[in-house]
């Protein structure tokens, strides 16, 4: 069974969730739960810092899409920071990098 750790902090622009470990079939629901539990208000930005992500499968990508949909439903925005190369490749192949904004510098603090 894979392990996933998610830490949260508040930034000036909104919540930042830092994701560590494996985001897969067994753990994707954990990210979904943390995203919906985050105190996200209209106009804020939810930042998902993926710098500690070691693996991401299709269930993980679906969890990222669910995070985007949740932020949109809350009238907020979302950004992905520090996206690892393998995950970035998937986002580019699927076109999600044009839907979910990426922080080109890879620094979540620059977003917040």
32 falls within a domain: no
Is the predicted pLDDT of residue 2 greater than 90, yes or no? Answer: no
Structural domain that includes position 101: 4-23+37-111
Residue ranges in 1-112 assigned as alpha helix (H) = 28-37, 58-73, 85-94, 108-111
95 falls within a domain: yes
pLDDT at 104: 62
3-state secondary structure (DSSP) of residue 105: coil
29 falls within a domain: no
Average pLDDT, the chain: 91
Task: Compute the average pLDDT of residues 10-32.
Answer: 96
Contact (CB, 8 A) for 34 and 8 = yes
Please name the helix (run of DSSP H) or strand (run of DSSP E) that holds residue 23, with its range, or none: strand 14-23
Is the predicted pLDDT of residue 80 greater than 90, yes or no? Answer: yes
28 falls within a domain: no
Is the predicted pLDDT of residue 107 greater than 80, yes or no? Answer: no
Q: For residues 105 and 50, what is the distance between their CA atoms, to the nearest angstrom?
A: 13
pLDDT at 78: 97
pTM equals 0.89
CATH number at residue 96: 3.30.750.24
């Amino acid at each position: 069974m894979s392990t996933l750790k998610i830490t949260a902090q508040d930034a000036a622009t909104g919540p930042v969730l830092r994701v560590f470990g494996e985001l897969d079939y067994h753990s994707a629901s954990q990210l979904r739960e943390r995203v919906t539990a985050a105190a996200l208000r209209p106009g804020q930005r939810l930042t998902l810092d993926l710098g500690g992500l070691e693996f991401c499968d299709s269930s993980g990508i679906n969890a990222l899409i669910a995070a985007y949909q949740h932020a949109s439903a809350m009238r907020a925005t979302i950004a992905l920071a520090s996206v690892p190369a393998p995950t970035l490749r998937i986002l580019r192949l699927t076109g999600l990098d044009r839907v979910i904004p990426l922080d080109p510098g890879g620094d979540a603090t620059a977003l917040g």
